[in-house]
Structure 1
Amino acid sequence: MGRLREFSQNKYFILFILFAGWMVAYLDRMVMSVALTSIGDDLHLSAASLGIVLSAFFAGYALMQIPGGYLADKFGSKRIMVVSLIAWSLFTVFTGFAWSLTSLLIIRFLFGVGESGFPAASSKAIAEYFPKAERAKAQSTMLSSNAFGAALAPLFAAPMMLVLGWRNMFIVIGIAGIVLVAVYSTILKKPKQKTDDSKESKNKEISMKDLLRNSTMWKLVIAWFGLDVVIWGFASWLPSYLLKVRELDLLQAGFVSSLPFFAGGIAMVLGGWVVDKYFVGREKYFAIVVTVLGALFLYLMFKTPSLQLAVTYQIISAFFLYAGFAGIWSLPLKFLPTAVMGSAAGMINFGGQLAGFVSPMIMGFLITAFNGSYDAAFYFLILSSVISVIACFTLGDTKKSLESNVKSA
Structure 2
Amino acid sequence: MNELSKGKNKKHIILALLFLGWCLSYLDRMAMNVSIVEIAKEFDLSPAALGVVLSSFFAGYALMQVPGGWLADKFGSRKIIAISIIFWSIFTVLTGFAGSLISMIFIRFLFGLGEGGYPSASSKAIADSFPKQERSGAQTIMMSSNSLGGVIAPLIATPLLVWIGWRNVFFAIGALGIIVAWLLWRYLKPENMQSESDDKEAVKKVPFKDLMKNPTLWKLAIMWFGMSTLIWGLISWMPLYLTEERGLNLLAMGMLTSVPALTGAIGTIVGGRLYQKHFNGREKYYAPVFSLLAILFLYLLFNAPSVSLVITYQALCTTFHGLVFAIIMAMPHQVFSKNVIGSSIGFINLGGMIGALLAPTVMGMLIGKFNGSYTAAFIYLIVCATFTILAAARLSHSSKRNQDMPIEKSV
Q: Name the TM tier (shorter chain).
A: over 0.9
Q: Is the 8 A contact 1:34 1:239 kept in 2?
A: yes
**Equivalent residue number for residue 158 of structure 1:** 158
**Equivalent residue number for residue 221 of structure 1:** 221
Task: Give, as a single letter, the amino acid of the residue that structure 2 aligns with 1:55.
Answer: S
Give me the whole-angstrom Cα distance separating, in 1, the residues matched to 2:212 and 2:79.
25
Give me the whole-angstrom Cα distance separating, in 2, the residues matched to 1:267 and 1:114.
28
**Equivalent residue number for residue 182 of structure 1:** 182
Give me the whole-angstrom Cα distance separating, in 2, the residues matched to 1:214 and 1:347.
11
**Equivalent residue number for residue 319 of structure 1:** 319
**Equivalent residue number for residue 142 of structure 2:** 142
Within a 5 Å distance, the mapping from 1:271-286 to structure 2 comes to 271-286=271-286
Task: Give, as a single letter, the amino acid of the residue that structure 2 aligns with 1:348.
Answer: I
Within a 5 Å distance, the mapping from 1:86-235 to structure 2 comes to 86-190=86-190, 191=192, 193-194=194-195, 198-201=199-202, 204-235=204-235
Aligned-residue offset at 1:189 = 1.6
Q: Is the 8 A contact 1:242 1:248 kept in 2?
A: yes
Give me the whole-angstrom Cα distance separating, in 2, the residues matched to 1:32 and 1:77.
27
Aligned-residue offset at 1:216 = 2.1
**Equivalent residue number for residue 338 of structure 2:** 338
Report the count of equivalent residues. 406
Aligned-residue offset at 1:285 = 2.5
**Equivalent residue number for residue 407 of structure 2:** 405
Give me the whole-angstrom Cα distance separating, in 2, the residues matched to 1:372 and 1:14.
46
Provide closer, same or farther for how the CA distance between residues 359 and 401 of structure 1 changes in structure 2, counting only shifts above 3 A: farther
Aligned-residue offset at 1:26 = 0.3
Q: Is the 8 A contact 1:227 1:321 kept in 2?
A: yes
Q: Is the 8 A contact 1:35 1:166 kept in 2?
A: yes
Q: Is the 8 A contact 1:275 1:327 kept in 2?
A: yes
* SS at 1:156 equivalent: helix
Q: Is the 8 A contact 1:367 1:373 kept in 2?
A: yes
Provide closer, same or farther for how the CA distance between residues 332 and 120 of structure 1 changes in structure 2, counting only shifts above 3 A: same
Within a 5 Å distance, the mapping from 1:353-372 to structure 2 comes to 353-372=353-372
Give me the whole-angstrom Cα distance separating, in 1, the residues matched to 2:284 and 2:196.
25
Give me the whole-angstrom Cα distance separating, in 2, the residues matched to 1:283 and 1:128.
25
Q: Is the 8 A contact 1:127 1:135 kept in 2?
A: yes
Q: Which moved more, 1:186-195 or 1:355-364?
A: 186-195
Task: Give, as a single letter, the amino acid of the residue that structure 2 aligns with 1:320.
Answer: F
- TM-score under structure 1 normalisation? 0.95
* SS at 2:189 equivalent: coil
**Equivalent residue number for residue 38 of structure 1:** 38
Q: Is the 8 A contact 1:284 1:327 kept in 2?
A: no
Give me the whole-angstrom Cα distance separating, in 1, the residues matched to 2:8 and 2:327.
29
Give me the whole-angstrom Cα distance separating, in 2, the residues matched to 1:385 and 1:357.
15
Give me the whole-angstrom Cα distance separating, in 1, the residues matched to 2:8 and 2:282.
34
Q: Is the 8 A contact 1:73 1:342 kept in 2?
A: yes
Q: Is the 8 A contact 2:280 2:331 kept in 1?
A: no
Task: Give, as a single letter, the amino acid of the residue that structure 1 aligns with 2:120.
Answer: A
Aligned-residue offset at 1:208 = 1.4
* SS at 2:165 equivalent: helix
Q: Is the 8 A contact 1:127 1:195 kept in 2?
A: no
> Gapped runs of 5+ residues in structure 1?
none
Q: Which moved more, 1:166-175 or 1:397-406?
A: 397-406
Q: Which moved more, 1:397-406 or 1:371-380?
A: 397-406
Task: Give, as a single letter, the amino acid of the residue that structure 2 aligns with 1:404.
Answer: P
> Gapped runs of 5+ residues in structure 2?
none
2:84 matches 1:84: yes
Deviations 1:207-227 (A, max 9, x none): 211111222211211111111
Q: Is the 8 A contact 1:154 1:254 kept in 2?
A: yes
Provide closer, same or farther for how the CA distance between residues 46 and 197 of structure 1 changes in structure 2, counting only shifts above 3 A: farther
Deviations 1:211-270 (A, max 9, x none): 112222112111111111101101111111110111101100111111100111111111
* SS at 2:45 equivalent: coil
Give me the whole-angstrom Cα distance separating, in 1, the residues matched to 2:62 and 2:41.
28
Q: Is the 8 A contact 1:68 1:120 kept in 2?
A: yes
**Equivalent residue number for residue 20 of structure 1:** 20
Deviations 1:258-311 (A, max 9, x none): 110011111111110011111221123222221111111111111021222112
Aligned-residue offset at 1:331 = 1.5
Provide closer, same or farther for how the CA distance between residues 64 and 195 of structure 1 changes in structure 2, counting only shifts above 3 A: farther
* SS at 1:199 equivalent: coil
Q: Is the 8 A contact 2:336 2:407 kept in 1?
A: no
Give me the whole-angstrom Cα distance separating, in 2, the residues matched to 1:376 and 1:192.
48
Q: Is the 8 A contact 1:132 1:196 kept in 2?
A: no
Give me the whole-angstrom Cα distance separating, in 2, the residues matched to 1:390 and 1:86.
39
**Equivalent residue number for residue 51 of structure 2:** 51
Task: Give, as a single letter, the amino acid of the residue that structure 1 aligns with 2:373.
Answer: S
**Equivalent residue number for residue 289 of structure 2:** 289
**Equivalent residue number for residue 74 of structure 2:** 74
Aligned-residue offset at 1:403 = 3.6
In the TM superposition, structure 1's runs of 4+ consecutive aligned residues that sit over 4 Å from their partners are: 5-9, 195-198
Give me the whole-angstrom Cα distance separating, in 1, the residues matched to 2:10 and 2:171.
33
Q: Which moved more, 1:307-316 or 1:75-84?
A: 307-316
